[in-house]
Structure 1
Amino acid sequence: MRVALCQITSTAEPAANLALVRDGVARAASEGARVVVFPEATMCRFGVPLGPVAEPLDGPWATAVGEIAQEHGVLVVAGMFTPAEDGRVRNTLLVTGDGRHLGYDKIHLFDAFGFAESRTVAPGDKPVTIELDGVTFGVATCYDVRFPELFRALADLGATAILLPASWGAGEGKREQWELLVRARALDSTCWVLACGQADPAASGERPQGTAPTGIGHSTVADPFGRVVAQLAAAPEMLLVDVSGDVVEQARQAIPVLANRRL
């Protein structure tokens, strides 16, 4: 199955970001993709108040993405923000198209490196998988990649490929950690891990003055053996990869870590 990772730099304007989704889906579908993945915070970049832009899954932004997915006959995964009951928002992955319209709420919030995502974002608590054309996909978001138990749980739910949108912050050693973690989670779960990050705004001159970078680019695909099979650079770009179930079977026979677990 062909999957497209659309590495973009989202703005603070949901309407402008919807145009990026429309363009990316059209291009990916023309290249034969059945699944089109956008980064975390596609609806609106981090660094601005998220409450005013948060919408439910049946709101206008998510509905428009669903219509784009239906028009092109693909499944779209894109990061957005939905209202939480306690006044915060939820960091939600919209999964829409092919008769589906649902969300995954990020379980592990980024309370690290001096930042507290949980101050404004409420956590989710349920792993999500989706079956499409005989392939079961799991989904995870950014900081989730540091928690191998989630990726093993997705494999236990039948996943053979895990889609990982992110808005990976810049910093010393962060790119190395990104690639290491994507590869490690592929090995932990013996799944494909398809990690789509926000592009580095500086790479295309799109970083607003005085704001922190919202991504480093380097969207990465690792196979179930932990090998990097495709990777982008820092700038906005699209990556196409064909996911094979045969490789999953080979890895699970050669490295049966799921079957060998004792704890």
Structure 2
Amino acid sequence: MATSATDRLKVTVAQFTVACEPERNLEIIDDLAAKAAAQGARLLVLPEGLIARDGDDDAFAAAHAQPLDGPFVQGLRRISANRGITLMGTVHIAGDPDDADPDEVGNVSGNTVVVSENHMANGPAPEKPEKERAETGSAGQEPAVGRGSRVSNMFLVIRDGGIAASYRKLHLYDAFSAWESDVVRPGNELPPIVDIDGWKIGVMTCYDVRFPETARSLAVRGADAIVVSAAWVRGPAKEYHWALMTAARAVENTCYVLACSEVSKRNIGCSRIIGPLGEVIARAGNSSAEMITATLDRTVLVEARRSLPVLENRRFADPQLR
């Protein structure tokens, strides 16, 4: 039987140290996109918090949030258009994303957005966030927006110069003495699934991976693969947690997992591409910038789900938000 173009999808996961300067980060991402596209990758997965980051300041990334139509996201859109590759990663967005032009951003809220060679579809706008949070301080240069209100940690899917889908981080990192909710407001929609060249790709952000329901909600809606964009903080057993949970999310849902973490003195790197039975196909180290590339194979996916039909055998109801 002949292999169709949609039976395989080449993907690249790229970890690096996010700089304090947004312009420098755009330069890094452009270089990564050029290299990934040259290898034939159709998707480039990037870390969490791409605009700016300071490893000594927990609130730095949120303090340097920009509007959805600001220069950083515009730069990502240009890179995607110029390099001919889909970009996935998160940015901190200032203001109310509900005010964005619906023609500029898709939020699929459980639907599927088609991201193929010649088509992008946008879904409905997200619901209003429940409330703002109190002011929090942080060191660093003057942010693009004033401090005092929480921002959105928004996962973006950017293709052909447009925003194909977006997702506000559902589970905020209020753990291990960190309080992300001091500066970020949570999303209140299930993460989306996008269609890239016939592959249904679900998305999650960092701490989301600790909640099996997040991945299961994607799998029961048909995800073939799940992308995790993260800045996974170093600490006792944290590399083990990352390896364990990314593999678990893959095997318990018989899907590929593409997990990218920033690598820095604060965050572990250790990015990975995992097969649908939990096997590690490609992995990066914990000390330096690195790109890993693999080809997702539908034959492997179908065989995994035939031999381990957990999605068919399950007896629990589909996950729901509370």
Normalising by structure 1, we get a TM-score of 0.91
1:80 aligns with 2:91: yes
Q: Name the CA shift for 1:176/1:52 in 2 (closer, same or farther; >3 Å).
A: closer
Q: Which runs of 5 or more structure 2 residues have no equivalent in the other structure?
A: 1-8, 97-131, 133-148, 317-322
- In the other structure, the counterpart of 1:59 is 70
- Count how many residue pairs are aligned between Structure 1 and Structure 2: 251
1:76-115 → structure 2 map (5 Å cutoff): 76-85=87-96, 86=132, 87-98=149-160, 100-101=162-163, 102-115=165-178
1:35-46 → structure 2 map (5 Å cutoff): 35-45=43-53
- Counterparts of 1:84 and 1:113, CA distance in 2: 28
- In the other structure, the counterpart of 1:226 is 278
The equivalent position to 2:187 in structure 1, one of 96, 99, 124, is 124
Instruction: Judge which range, 247-256 or 128-137, deviates more.
Output: 247-256
- In the other structure, the counterpart of 1:209 is none
2:52–2:60 Cα contact (<8 Å) kept: no
- In the other structure, the counterpart of 1:246 is 299
- In the other structure, the counterpart of 1:205 is none
Instruction: Judge which range, 77-86 or 223-232, deviates more.
Output: 77-86
Q: Name the CA shift for 1:23/1:225 in 2 (closer, same or farther; >3 Å).
A: same
1:151–1:188 Cα contact (<8 Å) kept: no
CA displacement at 1:78 relative to structure 2: 2.0
Q: Which runs of 5 or more structure 1 residues have no equivalent in the other structure?
A: 202-212
CA displacement at 1:247 relative to structure 2: 1.6
**SS of residue paired to 2:252:** helix
The root-mean-square deviation of aligned C-alpha atoms, in Å, is: 1.4
Normalising by structure 2, we get a TM-score of 0.75
Identity %: 39
Q: Deviations over 1:80-114 (max 9, x none)?
A: 10125432011111210136403211111111111
From the CA coordinates, give the structure whose radius of gyration is larger.
2
Q: Deviations over 1:153-197 (max 9, x none)?
A: 111222101111110000011101110000000012111001011
- In the other structure, the counterpart of 2:311 is 258
The equivalent position to 2:216 in structure 1, one of 133, 138, 152, is 152
Q: Which one has the bigger helix percentage?
A: 1
**SS of residue paired to 2:244:** helix
- Counterparts of 2:230 and 2:88, CA distance in 1: 12
CA displacement at 1:50 relative to structure 2: 3.8
